[in-house]
Amino acid sequence: GGQPIPPPITDTSLKLVVDKDHQWKPLRAGDQRGPCPGLNALASHGWLPRNGIVTPGEIVTAVQNGYNMEWKRAVLVTYAAFLVNGNHLTNLLSLGGMSWLTGHAPPPPALASGLNTHGTFEGDASLTRSDAFLGDNHSFNETLFQQLVDISNKVGGGKYNASAAAEVRFQRVQDSIARNPTFNFANPRFNTAFVEAVFPIVFFIDGRLRAAGETGLDLKVMRGFFEDHRMPKDFHRRGTAAHDYIPGFNNGSVNNFVADPNFMGTQTELVCALYEKFVNSTVALYPNPHGALRAALNQNLDNFYVAAEAHCDQIKPYN
Ligand code: HEM
Ligand code: MG
């Protein structure tokens, strides 16, 4: 059943991630990898179980250790995915497809079928993975990666930077509009698609380069993460989550920075809309849970809410 969230890590310095205990290893038969290059690479370097069968707590800790992802953001993304793709009875999730290693699943409509499951968390217009309707929604796609390389060469000076991300994001959506009659880019995919387009810039640039002012991701390094689940040889994570910032302005004098009330209003709605959406998806999967399953779902819904509570009213479908 559900377990409490592990606490934030305490050392958030810039440091070596690919140390001697976390070397890349090739896949063995049955190892699960899927649509997320960040988690795939953590598993192939042993920061997550190498077989790709993980608990949500392991993800929360691993994304902090490997990339210095901020704890609350990690909790939000992890429990969103776990609620819809995980097995609440065994507390296990496959980073890829359905696996017997996650244990006996609750009855349908529950899925518990891993991150590959289309239309729950995984969605359309991914950077390097095809739309489910058009093909394989979880494996690296060379054609799509070449489009990303071309765009990065054209507008990113040969790197995947913010300009390239914006253009790739746009092109992928246009492509799906033109070719995929089932294209879905509504909430929550609308949110996750934009976030994922900048993750490579935020997390895959070596911390030492970033500290020296680098703002673009080398395309060979990017291919390593996306195709081979592989970090560069001596990859260093970034230092403490780039000082969190909020949109705002100096209110008439220096050192008098205040939040822009209108912008924060919008921001709050987005987070809460995403929160509510995932709770509703969970209820659709588990319309009437009993006993241990109900208890586990309530624990994991509480865990998910930890990431939204500053902004949103809690929704308690099973109380
Ligand atoms: C995509 C899950 C953290 C980088 C995805 C997708 C899932 C997922 C399900 C597929 C969405 C789609 O493209 O259709 C998660 C979960 C995380 C997590 C549960 C828990 C914290 C991270 C981190 C990074 C990352 C820390 C970077 C270090 C990416 C990128 C994509 C992606 C770049 C887009 C891949 C593409 O569009 O080709 N993630 N992720 N993720 N994730 Fe993660
Ligand atoms: Mg996708």
- Whether a cis peptide bond, with omega within 30° of 0, leads into 188 is yes
Task: Check whether 292 has a pLDDT greater than 70.
Answer: yes
Query: Which residue has the CA at smallest separation from atom 30 of ligand 1?
Result: 196
Mean pLDDT of 19-32: 98
The CA distance from 173 to 217, in Å, is 22
Give the list of residues 6+ apart from residue 231 with CB closer than 8 angstroms, or none: 17, 18, 24, 41, 45, 224, 225
> 177-213 pLDDT, tens per residue?
999 999 999 988 998 999 999 999 999 999 999 999 9
pLDDT of residue 274: 84
The CA distance from 160 to 218, in Å, is 7
Any idea which residue has 């380069």 for tokens?
209
> 96-147 pLDDT, tens per residue?
999 999 999 999 999 999 999 999 999 999 999 999 999 999 999 999 999 9
Residue 125 near ligand 1, beta carbon < 6 Å: no
Compute the CA torsion angle 237, 240, 245, 250 (nearest 10 deg). -130
pLDDT of residue 313: 87
Closest approach atom of ligand 1 to CA 137? 14
Any idea which residue has 């707590």 for tokens?
57
Find, among 277, 278, 317, the residue nearest to 294 by Cα: 317
Query: Which residue has the CA at smallest separation from atom 7 of ligand 1?
Result: 36
Kindly list the structural domains of the chain, giving each domain's residue range(s) and its CATH number in brackets, ordered by start.
Answer: 20-306 (1.10.489.10)
Mean pLDDT of 165-175: 96
Question: Within 10 A of 255 (CB to CB), how many other CB atoms are there?
Answer: 5
> What φ, ψ does residue 180 adopt, rounded to 5°?
-115, 105
Residue 126 near ligand 1, beta carbon < 6 Å: yes
Any idea which residue has 């899925």 for tokens?
111
Query: Residue 249: which pLDDT band, with cuts at 50, 70 and 90?
Result: low
Of 24-38, 120-134, 185-199, 256-270, the one with minimum mean pLDDT is 256-270
DSSP bridge partners of 160: 217
Closest approach atom of ligand 1 to CA 192? 11
Find, among 74, 75, 221, the residue nearest to 159 by Cα: 221
Any idea which residue has 């929604």 for tokens?
137
Ligand 1 binding pocket mutation candidate from 32, 130, 196 (most atoms within 8 A of CB)? 196
pLDDT of residue 212: 94
Find, among 121, 171, 124, the residue nearest to 145 by Cα: 171
> What φ, ψ does residue 189 adopt, rounded to 5°?
-60, -35
* Element holding 259 (H helix, E strand): strand 257-259
Ligand 1 binding pocket mutation candidate from 32, 33, 39 (most atoms within 8 A of CB)? 39
Any idea which residue has 């592990």 for tokens?
6
Q: Which ligand is nearest to the CA of 131?
A: 2
Ligand 2 mean position to 208 CA, how many Å?
30
Q: Compare 32 and 273 and report the one with higher pLDDT.
A: 32
Q: Which ligand is nearest to the CA of 122?
A: 1
Residue 196 near ligand 1, beta carbon < 6 Å: yes
The CA distance from 96 to 229, in Å, is 13
The CA distance from 189 to 195, in Å, is 10
> 203-214 pLDDT, tens per residue?
999 999 999 999
70: Cα separation from own chain's centroid: 12
DSSP bridge partners of 236: 16
pLDDT over 70, % of the chain:
93
Round the average pLDDT of the chain to a whole number and report it: 92
Core vs surface per residue 120-148: b (16+ CB within 10 A) or e? bbbbbbbbbbbbbeeeebbbbbeebbebb
Ligand 2 mean position to 122 CA, how many Å?
5
- Cβ atoms of 275 and 291 within 8 Å: the answer is no
The CA distance from 63 to 5, in Å, is 13
Residue 206 near ligand 1, beta carbon < 6 Å: no
Residue 81 near ligand 1, beta carbon < 6 Å: yes
The CA distance from 168 to 304, in Å, is 30
Amino acid at position 102, single letter: T
